Amino acid sequence: MNMFFEEGFFRLDSAELWVLVGLVLFLAICLFTGAFKMVGGALDAKAAKIQSELDEAARLRAEAEALLAQIRAEKAEAEAQAAEMLKSAEADARVMEAEAKAKLEETLKRRQELAERRIAQAEAQASAEVKAAAADLAARAAEQILTARVAGQTSDPLLDAAIAQIGTRLN
């Protein structure tokens, strides 16, 4: 079972004894030279380095999460602004459409009134030209009749009545 209690273990020709002595000497030398402290210090330094790397990784992760949250908030804000701008643009378009429609109706109304005035002017001008032509024709007819009457000195009562009515009908 336990080899320390076996018979012959502590004899000088026992290999196990010399392995034990070598191990004890090795551990004593390591203890005397401070190898355990160096190994412990190296392990502590390695642990501290790993801990600082873990802390740095945690800090970077926290920064990344904060940046991600900020970017998401900015994205939401940008989407809200875009939606607001779209609503505003649609409202502006409706206002502009209404204004354009009102301006178009006003322009059409003015053009219609202008056309009606031109038509009325043309009618008045045509009427005046017809009256002038009728007056000229009546004057020429009266002149011819008067010329014939003076030449013949005969009087026609029907013709005299028509000539008298010309002046009242032309005005």
What is the sign of the dihedral through the CA atoms of 5, 6, 11 and 16?
Answer: negative
| CA R_g for the chain | 64
What is the length of the chain? 171
**More confidently predicted of 120 and 156:** 120
Angle between helices 15-33 and 35-152 (to 10 degrees): 60
Mean pLDDT of 13-29: 86
Side-chain half-sphere exposure of 111, counting CA atoms within 13 A: 6
Q: Which of 30-44, 45-59, 82-96 has the lowest mean pLDDT?
A: 30-44
User: What is the overall mean pLDDT for the chain?
Assistant: 86
Residue 16: alpha-carbon gap to chain centroid: 89
What span, in angstroms and rounded, lies between the C-alpha atoms of 86 and 104? 26
Is the pLDDT at 171 greater than 60, yes or no?
no
**More confidently predicted of 156 and 73:** 73
Mean pLDDT of 80-102: 95
Mean pLDDT of 57-69: 96
Listed by start position, the domains of the chain span 12-129
Whether the pTM exceeds 0.85: the reply is no
Backbone angles phi, psi at 9, to 5 degrees: -70, -35
Residues 99-116 pLDDT 10s: 999 999 999 999 999 999
Mean pLDDT of 67-82: 96
As given in the structure block, the two tokens for residue 73 are 């908030």
